[in-house]
Amino acid sequence: MRAKFITLEGMDGAGKSTHIPNIIAALKARGLEVVSTREPGGTALGERLREMLLHETMHAETETLLMFAARREHIANVIAPALARGACVLSDRFTDATYAYQCGAKGVLAAKIEMLEQWVQEDLQPDLTLLFDVPVEVSMERLSSARAPDKFERESAEFFTRIRHAYLQRARENPARFRVIDASRPLEEVAKTVEDIIATL
């Protein structure tokens, strides 16, 4: 198995992050180096930008630009070097999240995001994207009992509905890359689905 760039996507409350340790373990069991990271974040600068993005109010286009600024650092300092040395990179969110949140939910024009994507990523795209999908009411129920919410997690059901629709649209447009997982099922069932997908790599 060559180096793979794997991303996990889904709206808040979908439970995607819960499965990261199992994915790491499955890949390491095959003798692979695994770099686990996240967006926004992944670098010292990216983590500082993450705090701003998650907690400060700003224009949606400002938010988008900061996301891609953090992403450029992330690619240059973490993702590209890891892939170049043959490691697998597992990222909790990547550019699909920008299309879902800033474009789908907040109305930033897709054409603007596409320009930034081409500039920042060039030809870099994930090899596999696991989309953890849940109904909006499940997401909101899970978030209601979570830690102190960030600004996105405090949004309305309508906001989350737009995110979900945007994610599913991305999956329809990129069927070779996406695997849509019904994450409303019991945790053990979701984990088995993820395990089966990773085993096919």
Q: What is the CATH number of the domain that holds 161?
A: 3.40.50.300
Average pLDDT, the chain: 94
Q: What is the largest CA-CA distance in the chain?
A: 44
Instruction: Report pLDDT digits (tens) over 25-38.
Output: 999 999 999 999 99
Its domain, for residue 184, covers 5-199
pLDDT at 148: 66
| pLDDT per position as a tens digit, 180-195 | 999 999 999 999 999 9
Residue of 142, 137, 123, 66 lying closest to 98 (CA atoms): 66
Amino acid 144: pLDDT: 76
Tally the domains of the chain: 1
Question: What sign does the dihedral 96-102-106-111 (CA atoms) show?
Answer: negative
Q: Which residues pair with 92 in a beta bridge?
A: 8, 38
pTM score, whole prediction:
0.94
Mean pLDDT of 127-148: 86
